[in-house]
Amino acid sequence: MASGGQWQVGAVSNAEWMGISLNDVLAMASPKSGIVDIVCSGAGNSQWSRGLSFAKAKDPDTMLVWQMNGEPLRIEQGFPVRLLVPGYPGVAQVKWITNIDLIDKLYDGYFNTTLYTFITADGKNLGQLTTMPVKSIITSLAPNASVKSGMQTISGKAWSGTGSGITKVEVSADGGKTWNAAKIAQQAGQWSWYAFEYAWDAKDGNAVLTSRATDAKGNVQPEIPPFNKNGYQYNGWWRVPVTVGAQAAAANTVAPVSTVGATTAANASATGGNTVNVVEKDFAIALDKATVSVGSVTFTIKNDGPSPHNLAFPDLKKVSETIDAGATTKLTVDLKAGTYTYICDVPGHEQLGMKGTLTVK
């Protein structure tokens, strides 16, 4: 698991800001030619500074702001003045600004070169996070919801860090095999999120709802984006499996899973030698045994999908190393009696259905 906040499907908000174009402030300093980055420093608990390209700094929509939604910024929001870089991730929005330096090379600070960078599966650093990719999610239904059959409105939000605006949102009820145009119901400018709606005629049975947004630059939300180790800027299709109509009642009768292993003396007489073969695919995990004996259990995990996966037992804080596509690895866990959930720990994958349960007795 990557360290830091576990954002799951992410976090986004919209607000109305008051401030001044950073460009107008920079112009007062009469910058010399050859400026590459500006470095904004903030008065946090520890020294915080992050570089921003001079080009983005001069974008008229990049601002120094002191009000949000008509109120002065609160301390935790960056009072008295913070940076607002539309379309960029939170790390670019430096709070409590104390000074701005203009430099003639790329800034080599920790938050530009080490953290908040894209790291490939084999450890290569592809550089800092900048523009957020086009993304959408369905918000009107949670995964595994039960719904009545018939016409209903599916709704959600779409946005793009390019600031070009969202031109199209499509909704699929079959996990992405076929797509239908959704209606843009509301937006508040090209940097805002766009609310979308889709009138769905739900038929009895199982369905997998998902959405796909396209921005005015022609970027289309991918099914699975390129992997990076910290899961930054994940924008793959958000899948919402639902049960429709008569089958919904039956689906509801599945008992909730207990995830707490009972503490017993049974461990002292652990049988050992348990092995479980695991196959991970997009987007499912299969174990060849649903039940194992108490004691040391070794999982042989094969990744049969096109992207990296992990096997994780969140209740135990046990996570396998990252398993690249086509690779096999082992994970040994000491298990007490109980029922355990297992998931893929790569951001978003558990939500995509990569989870299950294992009984130990």
Contact residues for Cu ion (CB under 5 A)?
309, 344, 346, 349, 354
Task: Report which DSSP code applies to 111.
Answer: H
Which CB atom, from 82 or from 349, has the smaller least distance to Cu ion? 349
What's the chain's Rg over C-alpha atoms?
Answer: 24
Instruction: Return d(Cα 359, Cα 132) in angstroms, integer.
Output: 41
Nearest to 347 by CA among 7, 3, 35: 7
Question: What DSSP assignment string belongs to 290-306?
Answer: SEE-SEEEEEEEEE-SS
Residue 289: both structure tokens together: 């045994």
Which CB atom, from 115 or from 319, has the smaller least distance to Cu ion? 319
Question: What DSSP assignment string belongs to 117-172?
Answer: EEE-TT--EEEE--SPPPEEEE-SS-TTEEE-SEEEEEEEEEE-TTSS-EEEEEEE
- The answer to whether residues 301 and 329 touch, using CB atoms and an 8 Å cutoff, is yes
Nearest to 114 by CA among 132, 91, 93, 96: 91
Instruction: Find the shortest distance in angstroms from Cβ 310 to Cu ion.
Output: 7
Instruction: Return d(Cα 135, Cα 287) in angstroms, integer.
Output: 32
Which CB atom, from 318 or from 336, has the smaller least distance to Cu ion? 318
Q: How far apart are the first and last CA of the chain?
A: 28
Instruction: Find the shortest distance in angstroms from Cβ 290 to Cu ion.
Output: 20
Which CB atom, from 156 or from 353, has the smaller least distance to Cu ion? 353
Which CB atom, from 52 or from 354, has the smaller least distance to Cu ion? 354
Instruction: Find the shortest distance in angstroms from Cβ 346 to Cu ion.
Output: 4
Nearest to 134 by CA among 111, 107, 176, 168: 168
Instruction: Find the shortest distance in angstroms from Cβ 302 to Cu ion.
Output: 13
Which CB atom, from 132 or from 344, has the smaller least distance to Cu ion? 344
Instruction: Find the shortest distance in angstroms from Cβ 173 to Cu ion.
Output: 23
Instruction: Find the shortest distance in angstroms from Cβ 322 to Cu ion.
Output: 10
Which CB atom, from 122 or from 201, has the smaller least distance to Cu ion? 122
Instruction: Find the shortest distance in angstroms from Cβ 317 to Cu ion.
Output: 18
State which H helix or E strand residue 194 sits in: strand 194-202
Instruction: Return d(Cα 356, Cα 44) in angstroms, integer.
Output: 42
